[in-house]
Amino acid sequence: MVRLTRTGEGLYLQGQLAARTTVSCDRCLADFEQPLQVELGDLLVYPPGRQADPLLSVPETGMLHLAPLLREYLVLDIPSRPLCRPDCKGLCPECGQDLNQAACEHPQPQIDPRLASLSSLLS
């Protein structure tokens, strides 16, 4: 729901926008639906000046085209590293198996004895 309120400087746009988009998980590369939730609160200036952002101004015709502005808000809400779930295990670096579906049967790699003491930091 979006509400426009007339002010002395133009129109104040406020409301909430909810949408869903399909993104790929950053760890396992599976596609999933990502919910997006955006809070709107911007002043659309009128009359548009030379310094005004075209997306945040009311054109002389008075016809508002909010699609570009709303698209920017939604694109900014998409996470930079989306995860299908917080505990996603990702892909096996050896064979590419999705570790969320099944475990791999690869032998454990040999650790250089000089670096073996550092393996305690991983647990």
Q: What is the pLDDT of residues 45-92, one digit of tens each?
A: 887 777 778 888 888 888 888 899 999 999 999 999 999 999 999 999
Threshold 0.75, pTM exceeds? no
Cα→Cα distances 6→2, 3, 13, 69, Å: 13, 10, 9, 19
| Residue 99, pLDDT score | 92
User: H or E stretch including 41?
Assistant: strand 31-45
Cα→Cα distances 31→2, 26, 46, 103, 107, Å: 30, 10, 42, 20, 30
Cα→Cα distances 48→70, 82, 113, Å: 19, 37, 69
| Residue 47, pLDDT score | 79
Q: How many CA atoms lie within 13 A of 111 on its CB side?
A: 10
Q: How many other CB atoms are found less than 10 A from the CB of residue 95?
A: 9
